[in-house]
Structure 1
Amino acid sequence: MNNLACESVGGKVLFATDDWFAAAENLLKKSNPEFKVGLFTEYGKWMDGWETRRKRIPGHDWCIIELGVPGIVYGFHVDTRFFTGNYAPRISVQAACLHPEKTTLLPRGDRIGSAASKEDYQAAEQFNSENWEFLLQMTELKPGYEESCHNYFHVNSRKRWTHVRLNIYPDGGIARFKVYGIGQRDWSLCGPNDLEDLLSMVNGGVCLGFSDAHYGHPRNLIGLGRAADMGDGWETARRLDRPPILKADAKGILQVPGKEWTVFRLGHPGLITHIEIDTNHFKGNAPNSCKIEASVLTSKEEEEKIKAKWDHNWKTLLPVMQLHPHKRHFIEGTLISLQEVVTHVRITIAPDGGVSRVRLWGFPRQLP
C-alpha cells in the first residue's frame, strides 16, 4: 500500500518532545536508513532516525505526525535499523481526524540537540493528542540488527485519519516510521463535471499487483507531483527473453515476446477521458511501448483475481503506443478506446524499463 506519512507526499512532524541525538523528521524519509561509522555531532553519535536523550525525568517521549495523504490506515512498519543498543523498546500509536484549520503550528526548523520548550507543549495542547484513539496499543520492538529491525503491525480500524501520535516508551531511537494505507477523500464534494485524476494515491488509488519491481515499486506511479529521480518511479529488471537482435514494426513498436505489468484499483469508479504517461528521468531505460486496459470488478472479484495472479479478460483502454525517454506523453480522448465506467486498470510496458508517473484523468461516476 501507499505510505501516507512519507515526506515525499507531504507528511510532516508537527511536534516532538525531544530531538537530542536525531530529529523526528528523519522518521518520514523515503530513503533507507544509513549508518556512518565514526561520525559524531556536538550532541553525540550521528544517527539516521529519531533518537531522544536518555530520559531522566518522569514521562515518555512522543511526536505528532500530520499525514501527507489522509486516509484509512492498514498497518505500520517501524524500522529500527542501526539502533541496536539505543532503540526504543516499546511503542504505541494513536490517531485522529482533524480539520486542517485546527492544526496550525510554527515550523520546527532544525531541532537536533533540543527538547520541546514550554511554548511548544502549550501549542501542542490544542491537539489533545493523549486522548486520541489507539490504533496500536503499547507493544515491544526488536533491536535494529539486520535480522530483527523490521517491525510490522496490522491495524483493524477502517476510519479515516489525518494525524497520528507515535509514542515511544520511555525513550530511544527509531530509524523509519511508515504508515501504510489508502488515501480517502470526500467524493460528495466532487461535481459530476469535475475532472479528477482517478488513479492518484491522494484520491484513493492503490496498487494491487505487478510482475516485477526490481528497481522501483509501481505504487510510485500514483505519487504526488513529478518524480524526483529514477528511484521515484516503477522500474523493472531487464528481461532475459529479449531477442539477441531487436526488430520493430512500421510504427516503431519492438516485436518482443516479453512484457511487464501492474494493476491498480481506481480511487473512484469513473469515465477516463485523458491520460498522461511520464518517463521523466528514464533517459536510457524507458520502455519502448505501453498499453492500458481496464475492467469493472467487485470487491469479491478483486480478491479472486489477486489469487489468480490477475488472469483476467481486460478491455483495451489505450492501445499499444510508443513511449519516448524522459518525456511527458499526453493522450487525449480521441485515442482512448473505451468509453465506459471502470474500476480497475492494468498498465503494461514492453519489453521492460521504467515509468515515473501515470495519470488517468476522468469523471467520477457511480456504477450502473
Structure 2
Amino acid sequence: MDGWETRRKRSAGHDWCIINLGVPGVIFGVDVDTSFFTGNHAPHFSLQGACLSTHILIIITFITAITSLMTVTFKERVTHLRLNMYPDGGIARLRVYGVGQRDWSSVSSNEMVDLVALTNGGVCLGYSDAHFGHPRNMIGPGRADSMADGWETARRGDRPKDLKVDHRGILQVSGSEWAVFRLGHRGRIRTIEVDTNHFKGNSPDSCCVHGCNLSPEEEQLWKSVEWEELLPAQKLLPHHRHHFREAELTVRKPVSHVRVIIAPDGGISRLRLWGCCTPIDSANQRRATSKL
C-alpha cells in the first residue's frame, strides 16, 4: 500500500498525523489524492498549520470531502501541518504547494546566503522558453541529478548558419533566452555561481545577469523596468561549475530581482546568488529603481 491507511476506527475521535514541511513557507494550494483507495478512502479531512519556529500556533482548517486541488488564502508562514482524516480510512498522497519563506530575523547582515534559493523564498516570475526544463529548477536544493533537473530551452531557429566568435571566444548571435527571479530577500550579491552540470553538449555559450530593485508594489513593472548589468557576458563551459567573484561584478547596490540571460540557448542546472541581505526600505527602493 503506497499511501497512509488507518485501521477501521471503533472508538471515539478521528485519525491524524503531524508533518514537518521540507521547506517552511506560505501555502497557496493543497492536493489530497485518494487514488486506489476505492472502498476505504477517508471521506473527509481537515488541515491545520503551525509556525513552530516562532512558537506561534496558526490554524488553517478545511473540513471537506476529498476532492481535487484546493486554494488556500491564508498568507502566514507555516513550518508544520497536522492532517486530520474523519473518521478513518486512506489517503495516497498529500501535496502542499506554496512559496518558501525563511525566517530572516535570525540572519545577520554580514552572513553570506544564497538569496535566490527556493528554500530561501526565491521565485521564478517569468521566462522566454522552457522546452525541456523549467527555470525554477535552477534554484532548487543541491546539485542537479540530471539535465531534467535544470533549465533547458529549445534550440533557437534564428541562429546563424555560420557561427562567429569575438576575441574572448563568445559567439556573436542576436538571439538569447532569459528567466527572471524574485530574490528571497533584497541584498547585495557578492558571488554568482552558474552550474552547467550534466549539460555536456547543450550548455549555453555564454550568460549574463542583470538586476533591479523593486518594492512588492512595483513588482509588476519587472517587464518594463530598465535592468542594470550585474555580470557582463561570460563564456560558459559544458558540465562545469562556474564561480564569478565580486571583482567580476559591475554593481554593488542591493537588488531584489535578477534576470539571467543565456545565449543563444541551452541548459543550466543551478544558479546561486551569494550575498548579504539588506534592510527593506520602500523609499530607498523607489529611489534606487528610478536610477536604474
TM range (shorter): 0.7 to 0.9
- 1:320 matches 2:233: yes
CA shift digits 1:144-170 (9 cap, x unpaired):
xxxxxxx32222222221111233444
- 1:331 matches 2:248: no
Match of 1:228 in 2: 145
- 1:55 matches 2:55: no
CA shift digits 1:169-224 (9 cap, x unpaired):
4423434x332222222323222222221111222211111122222221121122
Q: Is the 8 A contact 1:83 1:173 kept in 2?
A: no
Alpha-carbon distance change, 347 to 63 in structure 1, aligned in 2, over 3 angstroms:
same
CA distance in 2, matches of 1:234, 1:178: 23
Alpha-carbon distance change, 69 to 260 in structure 1, aligned in 2, over 3 angstroms:
same
Match of 1:172 in 2: 90
Match of 2:47 in 1: 93
Q: Normalising by structure 2, report the TM-score.
A: 0.84
Amino acid at match of 1:71: G
CA shift digits 1:27-66 (9 cap, x unpaired):
xxxxxxxxxxxxxxxxxxxxxxx25267364555443221
CA distance in 1, matches of 2:166, 2:14: 66
Matches within 5 A, 1:1-368: 21-22=1-2, 50-52=3-5, 55=8, 57-58=10-11, 60-79=14-33, 83=36, 85=38, 88-99=42-53, 133-142=58-67, 151-169=68-86, 170-175=88-93, 177-305=94-222, 310-366=223-279, 367=281, 368=284
Deviates more, 1:266-275 or 1:207-216: 207-216
Alpha-carbon distance change, 249 to 77 in structure 1, aligned in 2, over 3 angstroms:
farther
**Corresponding residue SS for 2:105:** helix
Please report the RMSD computed on the Cα atoms of aligned residues, expressed in angstroms.
Answer: 2.5
Amino acid at match of 1:95: G
Alpha-carbon distance change, 241 to 178 in structure 1, aligned in 2, over 3 angstroms:
farther
Alpha-carbon distance change, 57 to 351 in structure 1, aligned in 2, over 3 angstroms:
farther
Q: Is the 8 A contact 1:88 1:174 kept in 2?
A: no
Deviates more, 1:88-97 or 1:273-282: 88-97
Alpha-carbon distance change, 292 to 77 in structure 1, aligned in 2, over 3 angstroms:
farther
Amino acid at match of 1:64: I
Unmatched 5+ residue regions in structure 2? Answer: 285-292
Amino acid at match of 1:322: K
Q: Is the 8 A contact 1:292 1:346 kept in 2?
A: yes
CA shift digits 1:244-300 (9 cap, x unpaired):
333322322222232221111111111111111111111122111111000011212
Unmatched 5+ residue regions in structure 1? Answer: 1-20, 23-49, 103-131, 143-150
The count of corresponding residues between Structure 1 and Structure 2 is 277
Alpha-carbon distance change, 260 to 168 in structure 1, aligned in 2, over 3 angstroms:
farther
**Corresponding residue SS for 2:62:** strand
**Corresponding residue SS for 1:193:** coil
Alpha-carbon distance change, 188 to 84 in structure 1, aligned in 2, over 3 angstroms:
closer
CA distance in 1, matches of 2:204, 2:4: 42
TM-superposed deviation, 1:322: 1.2
**Corresponding residue SS for 2:69:** strand
Q: Normalising by structure 1, report the TM-score.
A: 0.68
CA distance in 2, matches of 1:304, 1:140: 40
CA distance in 2, matches of 1:99, 1:273: 29
